[in-house]
Chain A
Amino acid sequence: ETGVTQTPRHLVMGMTNKKSLKCEQHLGHNAMYWYKQSAKKPLELMFVYNFKEQTENNSVPSRFSPECPNSSHLFLHLHTLQPEDSALYLCASSQASGDTGELFFGEGSRLTVL
């Protein structure tokens, strides 16, 4: 089993749908992250949770709503998205946010908004 698992791997949704992305890490880490990856652009940090508390929200539109019920699970709830939200959404974890260790990434959820 990989360290960071994301589901679903692919998602197609209409602009009025509601869906959720799920991330689970089996590494005993205390920090979890959501990133947006668009073609030929740098990774965009969306949200950071450290010990289940949200410590970062990088001006993300309210149509993206994160949830972190425990240190191992992270969700991204999606509603009334726009076509420009189509991207690869990557979940990552680390020992704790602000430390010097590397991030461990999941394989991402490829989202297409029609």
Chain B
Amino acid sequence: GQNIDQPTEMTATEGAIVQINCTYQTSGFNGLFWYQQHAGEAPTFLSYNVLDGLEEKGRFSSFLSRSKGYSYLLLKELQMKDSASYLCAVRDSNYQLIWGAGTKLIIKP
């Protein structure tokens, strides 16, 4: 079966750095997405990785290792507004999106 694993919940301190991991086992690979979802709001696109390596976008970076079936989302200089759920999703060989259950990130002052 196809599976995406990510931690259920993480806590970090304002101003710090946090890394949210995502591991996957899918039938093929056609890219990995990270989405942010604030409580009661729509998920919004954060990043897309299809090749190995690090993609940086401001305070957020996303890393991919296809050989290890592994990705992480790195958030720097954490702000209170970064409190949200972070969803990892992989597009398989049929271009279907396989979703993780999301990681709830709690930022404390």
Contacts and interface: CB of A to CB of B under 8 A. Distances in A.
- Verify that A and B bind, or say they do not: yes
Interface string A74-101: 0000000000000000100000011110
B4 A42 contact: yes
Interface of B: 4, 8, 30-31, 33, 40-45, 48, 50, 87, 89, 91, 95-102
A100 B42 contact: no
A100 B31 contact: yes
Contact of B41 (A40, A99, A103, A107): A107
Q: Is the interface of B mostly helix, strand, loop or mixed?
A: loop
Contacts of A99: 95
A108 B39 CA distance: 11
A106 B99 CA distance: 17
A106 B42 contact: yes
Contacts of A90: 42-43
A34 interface: no
Contacts of B87: 43
Contacts of A98: 95
Nearest to B101: A42
Given A98-B95, A100-B50, A41 B101 contact: yes
Contact of B99 (A43, A105, A108): A43
B42 A108 contact: yes
